[in-house]
Amino acid sequence: MSTAPTPPATPASDLATRVRAAIRDVPDFPKPGILFKDITTVLQDGPLYAEVCRWFADLAKRSGATHLAGIESRGFLFAAPAAAALGLPLALVRKPGKLPYRTRKCSYSLEYGTDCIEMHEDSFPADARVLLADDLLATGGTMSAACSLVRDLGAEVVQVAFVVDLSFLNGRARLPAGVPVEALVRY
């Protein structure tokens, strides 16, 4: 009896390998001791960038998202093309003072001090199912605050998605329980 053939690598794992190879490590940026994962080198490879945006769009489709939201600023690079490809609405999670209309805010703690993000209060209708996108999960503070903000606006977070998860920082533990989390590349 013949054994089953080894399945080919899934497109997602193949994509992950290529994205991992494309990401540039920049030591000591923005301050000593931080190894910055620079995704501009992914953007420089047009076909690869397009595939990463399709990966976000596929996730949004599979999760039944009705809306996408991107976190300033590198989250915009992936949320916006994915939303446009699906013809779905896009909402922006921004730093304070950038949005012109009435906003809702959420503060969160950093290693030293606090930070704040904002969304327009009319970003979603009440029954919105939202995919939240950012380039990278580190401690999880930013995405956790974004989830709180989306929920505060009455919408449901059905998926959070990242290009990179620095899993040694255990950012997933800070995210709300029960929300599906996907990342293309984990370190």
Judged by CB under 6 A, does residue 138 bind ligand AMP?
yes
| Residue length of the chain | 187
Per CB under 6 A, 136 contacts ligand AMP: yes
Question: Which residues are tagged catalytic?
Answer: 74, 111
Question: Does residue 187 interact with ligand AMP by CB under 6 A?
Answer: no
User: What is the spatial distance between Cα 108 and Cα 140, in angstroms, rounded to a whole number?
Assistant: 10
In the three-class reduction of DSSP (H, G, I as helix; E, B as strand; rest coil), residue 176 is classed as coil
- Pick 86 or 163: Cβ nearer ligand AMP: 163
* 49, 134, 146, 150: residue in contact with ligand AMP (rule CB under 6 A): 134
The residue (of 34 and 50) whose beta carbon lies closer to ligand AMP is: 34
Does position 172 interact with ligand AMP (CB under 6 A)? The reply is no
Rounded to an integer, what distance in angstroms lies between the CA atom of residue 147 and that of residue 149? 5
Which of 22, 91, 137, 158 touches ligand AMP by CB under 6 A? Answer: 137
- Give 41's strand partners: none
Q: What are phi and psi of 163, to 5 degrees?
A: -75, -45
3-class secondary-structure state, position 160: strand
User: Pick from 19, 37, 55, 184: which binds ligand AMP (CB under 6 A)?
Assistant: 37
Helix boundaries (H) for 44-110: 46-62, 76-86
Q: Which residues of this protein are in contact with ligand AMP, per CB under 6 A?
A: 34-37, 71, 74, 134-142, 171
